[in-house]
Amino acid sequence: MDITLIYYLVPAIIMFCCGVYGFITRRNMIAMLISLELMLNAVDINFVVFNRYLYPEATEGMFFTLFAIAIAAAETAIAIAIIINVFRAVKNVDARDIDKMKN
Amino acid sequence: MDFIIPLLILAIPLGMFLLLGLAGMKMSHKLAGVLGTLGMGTVLVLSYFTAFTYFFSGNPEFISEAGVRLQSVIFNQEWLAFTPNLVISLGFLLDPISAMMLIVIPTISFMVHLYSLGYMHGEKGFQRYYAFLSLFSFSMLGLVVATNIFQMYIFWELVGASSYLLIGFFYTLPSAVSASKKAFIVTRFADLGFLIGILILSYYTQTFDFITLTSDPGAAFASTAGATFMGGSVLTWAMVLIFTGGMGKSAMMPLHIWLPDAMEGPTPVSALIHAATMVVAGVYLVARMFPVYLAVPFSLDFVLVVGAITALYAAIVACTQIDIKRVLAFSTISQIAFMMVSLGAARPEFHECLGYMASMFHLFTHAMFKALLFLGAGALIHAVHSNNYTQMGGLHKYMPITNITFLIGCLAIAGIPPFAGFWSKDEILVAVYSYSTFWGVWMTLVAGLTAFYMFRVYFLVFWWNEPEYHHRPHDSEWTMSVPLIILACVSVVAGLIPFGKFVTWQGHEYIIHMNWVVAGISIVVAVIGIIIAGVLYLRENDRPKCMADSCRWLWTAAHHRFYWDEIYLFITHKIIFNGICRPIAWFDRRIIDGTMDGFAIVTNKASYAIRNLQSGRVQNYVLVYLIGALLLAVITAWCLA
């Protein structure tokens, strides 16, 4: 059986949708952050796969993915820092209770 | 003649206004009053000197070899040069009438300055009062010596402004405030006509200059031939419109309504502005432009008819007023109307424009005796603390000086020889009779009424029955008595001045011949008026009340000034406000403001409606973002497909 493009894209899209679902429904901000990582990784998979199957001679997709992973790491660090500070301020990490910016 | 002294005549009052206006608050009352009076005294001396030089020096600048008095421009400084044709100058013109006004204005103004030292003693804003008096004197002097019609217009507005300031001097009284507004607005309407008239006249003649306009009206108006507007020639319209300005200032019907209310101002101000000087500006304007008016006979007839109707109206109303200042105000309107009638009846074919000279003569004598009467009324009000004759009576016992001077004023205005009013009024009657017997009889009747209403006031105030006085009335201090005595002396002798030698239409001297028929009639009519007044009002009795009751409607109508104020109120409030102002206000508020408010309201409501979307919950935002992104993707895909 041939492993074609679609075999990679379907798990990636499932991962992405799980990430979106988790981001919208989970109450804990750490869980939201994990969902965010899930979406990012789904996109990374797409990059690599498109590069490999559509333009095998090019390497931009691979490098872009490496950059994305590095930036995602930095972003996660910042997000964790923000979450820790929010927790210090309100003793809570539930996204639904942090609604001071409403109206 | 050197220009220094004429320039000083204008500069001193202006400088005094600036000094007292800016530094007055730092001065004591006394210093400000004395400074103002001394300044006016200097002007008095300088203008007497100027007028004397003009009339008696025999300088060829002022009088030709044939004995004709000339118009002499002392200086004329170009002020605003818009285009080569449109130049506005400020200058100083000496001719018989301006030289005469140079005697009248400083005399009355000085008397009023002196009198006010006593009358206004201790009033709040004393320095401001003197500053305004100086401003008024400056403006009035500038008006009479104007070399061109635009300069006259500028000073015309300045006297209007100072009149407004002085009527509203007691600005804490609502009645004074509304009176000053009324005076300002009514005269402003009239001045609109004046300005339009000036513009029409100068558009066709290409000049503002009085000498060019009046020396040869025929040539100046060659270009107006054939130009007509609504059935009248353009020139007629221009002259009638210019006269409208004079009607406003001189309180001719139907623009007279501001003058009686202007009596809310301090009494010396009424004497200076609303009796002797400013209100005769309209007469002066017609006299100044007289050759032009002669070129348009219709406009002179208009002046005559307006004057005659006003004279009778004001005389009737004066018979029923209770406030003595109101009586004097209506008397002023009536006497100014006399001057207007006299100008309107002046024609070269009748005694070489006798009416012109008579009108100026009456202006001169009227200024003296009317200022005297007003200052006398001020002394009465000062003593009794009321304007109404019902609070006065029997005052001849307490105030001998005021009594005698007031009596002289009344005799002068009634036209009893040898007092001043007789001579000038007689000239007016001769001039009117020679023009038209109908108007002559009319004006004789008004002269009789004049004698009646003045002596009605005199008897009611100084005789009649004595009311209860809270404190004994007495004559005023010397600053108030001296002007009364001086003006009374002038009122006795002013009529004997051979006026025909000084002020005539074309500068020729002529001898006044008394027309004893007319003079006899006017004396008889005046004496009858005085006798009727004496019978009715000398001692307390029921006759005046019976007479008033016998024709109650006429008395009521006259007491309410024939409802002119009510008519004006009806026209402005009911017709103009309801018919024009309210629809405009509605349009402004609903349509113009409404459109703008509509935008604001829609934006406001919309923001309220969508503010709940700002829940502050990150996950909601993400959901909305997701839905939006999906929709966009679907729409894009659908469009591409």
Phi, psi (5° rounding) for residue B238? -60, -45
Spell out which chain B residues touch chain A, with contact meaning CB-CB distance below 8 angstroms.
611-612, 614-619, 622-623, 626
Condensed to tens digits (0 to 9), the pLDDT of residues A9-42 reads: 999 999 999 999 999 898 898 999 999 999 999 9
- Whether the predicted pLDDT of B394 surpasses 70: yes
Distance in Å from the first CA to the final CA of chain B: 102
Average pLDDT over every residue of B437-449:
89
Distance CA B629, CA B633 (A): 6
pLDDT of residue B231: 66
pLDDT of residue B601: 94
Buried b or exposed e, range B539-571, using 16+ CB within 10 angstroms: eeeeebeeeeeeeeeebeebeebeebeeeeeee
Q: What is the CA radius of gyration of chain A?
A: 17
pLDDT of residue B225: 60
Sequence-ordered alpha helix ranges (H) in B346-394: 354-384
For chains A and B, CB pairs below 8 A equal: 32
pLDDT of residue B604: 94
Q: Where are the domains of chain A?
A: 5-91
pLDDT of residue B421: 84
Contact A103 B614 (CB under 8 A): yes
Q: How many CB atoms lie within 10 A of CB A6?
A: 9
Buried b or exposed e, range B166-197, using 16+ CB within 10 angstroms: bbbbbeeeeebeebbebbbebbeebbebbbbb
Contact A100 B615 (CB under 8 A): no
Lowest mean pLDDT among B113-122, B257-266, B508-517, B608-617: B508-517
pLDDT of residue B461: 84
pLDDT of residue B504: 77
CA B363 to centroid of chain Cα atoms = 13
CB B90 within 8 A of CB B77: yes
- Whether the predicted pLDDT of A103 surpasses 60: no
Contact A99 B616 (CB under 8 A): yes
With contacts defined as CB-CB under 8 Å, which chain B residues touch A32? 618-619
Average pLDDT over every residue of B294-315:
89
Q: Residue A97 class from Cβ within 10 Å (0-12 exposed, 13-18 middle, 19+ buried)?
A: exposed
CB B117 within 8 A of CB B32: no
pLDDT of residue B220: 61
CB B513 within 8 A of CB B436: no
User: Which among A13, A69, A65, A70 has a CA at the least distance from the CA of A42?
Assistant: A13
- Whether the predicted pLDDT of B638 surpasses 90: yes
pLDDT of residue B219: 65
**Residue B597 binned pLDDT confidence (cut-offs 50, 70, 90):** very high
Q: How many CB atoms lie within 10 A of CB B506?
A: 12
Report the 3 state secondary structure along B55-81. Answer: HHCCCCCCECCCCCECCEEEEEEEEEE
**Residue B222 binned pLDDT confidence (cut-offs 50, 70, 90):** low
- Whether the predicted pLDDT of B471 surpasses 70: yes
Q: From residue B390, how far is each of B204, B469, B472 by CA, in Å? A: 56, 12, 16
pLDDT of residue B221: 66
Better pLDDT: B9 or A1:
B9
CA B44 to centroid of chain Cα atoms = 22
CB B249 within 8 A of CB B306: no
Q: What is the CATH number of domain A5-91?
A: 1.10.287.3510
User: Which among B86, B126, B3, B103 has a CA at the least distance from the CA of B51?
Assistant: B103
Cα dihedral B281/B287/B288/B293 (nearest 10): 120
User: Which among B168, B387, B163, B354 has a CA at the least distance from the CA of B276?
Assistant: B163
CB B427 within 8 A of CB B394: no
CB B89 within 8 A of CB B37: no
- Whether the predicted pLDDT of B635 surpasses 90: yes
With contacts defined as CB-CB under 8 Å, which chain A residues touch B617? 95-96, 99, 102
User: Which among B320, B322, B324 has a CA at the least distance from the CA of B378?
Assistant: B324
- The residue of chain A with its CA nearest to that of B622 is A24
Helix (H, G, I), strand (E, B) or coil at B498: coil
Distance from CA of A102 to the nearest CA of B (A): 4
**Amino acid occupying residue B550:** S
Condensed to tens digits (0 to 9), the pLDDT of residues B122-173 reads: 888 888 899 999 999 999 999 999 998 889 999 999 999 999 999 988 888 8
Distance from CA of B171 to the nearest CA of A (A): 54
Q: A30 Cβ partners below 8 Å, 6+ apart?
A: A83, A93
Lowest mean pLDDT among A36-50, B190-204, B209-223: B209-223
Name the average pLDDT for chain B.
86
- Beta-ladder partners of B78: B89
Distance CA B372, CA B365 (A): 11
Condensed to tens digits (0 to 9), the pLDDT of residues A47-81 reads: 999 999 998 888 888 999 999 999 999 999 999 99
Q: B213 Cβ partners below 8 Å, 6+ apart?
A: B149, B201, B205, B207, B220, B289, B291, B292
- Whether the predicted pLDDT of B391 surpasses 90: no
Q: From residue B76, how far is each of B13, B155, B409 by CA, in Å? A: 20, 15, 39
The reported pTM is 0.79
**Amino acid occupying residue B428:** I
Distance in Å from the first CA to the final CA of chain A: 56
Contact A24 B617 (CB under 8 A): no
CB B191 within 8 A of CB B248: yes
CB B325 within 8 A of CB B270: yes
pLDDT of residue B633: 95
DSSP-assigned states of every residue in A5-61: HHHHHHHHHHHHHHHHHHHHH--BHHHHHHHHHHHHHHHHHHHHHHHHHH-TT--HH
Average pLDDT over every residue of B446-469:
85
CB nearest to B615's CB, from A24, A32, A99: A99
- Whether the predicted pLDDT of A46 surpasses 90: yes
pLDDT of residue B293: 86
Distance CA B470, CA B257 (A): 34
CB nearest to A100's CB, from B611, B612, B616: B616
